[in-house]
Amino acid sequence: MTILQFQNASAWIDAENAQDPNHETDHSVSQPKELLYSNRMYERLMDFYPNASEAVQISAKAQHICRWKMPRESYPMDRVGYLKWREDLKKFHAETTAEILEKAGYSTAFIARVSFLIEKKLLKKDIETQLLEDVICLVFMEFYLDPFVQKHDREKMKNIILKTWNKMSEKGQQEALKIKFSAENFDLIKEALGL
């Protein structure tokens, strides 16, 4: 593995995500939604666990690669449809990333490891899968919890928060409590977790 391989893979992941037609405003700047998400994932990972392996770093950046190409609406709008969408998304993200890593000259074993992580296999058992899940949950709680609060009722939000919390390691949970939430959202979190 070389620095050049990593730089090329990162640049190509960014280039794919930069094509997202959906935009989100961050600090008054409009950005492609999945490019912003990718940057948030990578920054949070390096802040939370600076010694993360190259495989985890790439998996964090590529977590939602080209997600807009497989919209939720293209599946039945029920629980079964949702779960199928989630599973298909994981495979799609893993395959899209694998093509980029192949082009960057990574080994078959490295590509397989990144696919394993993106598909979140052996959660709670594999240390790196758990690290990636912690970062996903931290990014959700810091940047995406509030938009969810605007859309869902209090009981549903408490359920979402509890499910998110239970996916995290103890270290991840401690880190989550350091996030600067609004007073209302922090009260909701405390209520959901019985703190």
Q: At what angle do helices 154-167 and 127-139 cross, to 10 degrees?
A: 150
The full 3-state SS of 179-195, as one line of letters, equals CCCCHHHHHHHHHHHCC
Put simply, whether the predicted model's pTM sits higher than 0.85 gets the answer yes
Helices (H), 51-194: 54-61, 79-103, 108-118, 127-139, 145-151, 154-167, 170-176, 183-193
The token duo for 143 is 């940047």
pLDDT one-digit tens code per residue, 120-167: 999 889 999 999 999 999 999 999 998 888 888 888 899 999 999 999
> Please, are residues 139 and 44 in contact by the beta-carbon 8 Å criterion?
yes
pLDDT at site 1: 55
pLDDT one-digit tens code per residue, 5-58: 999 999 999 999 999 999 999 989 999 999 999 999 999 999 999 999 999 999
> Please, are residues 24 and 34 in contact by the beta-carbon 8 Å criterion?
no
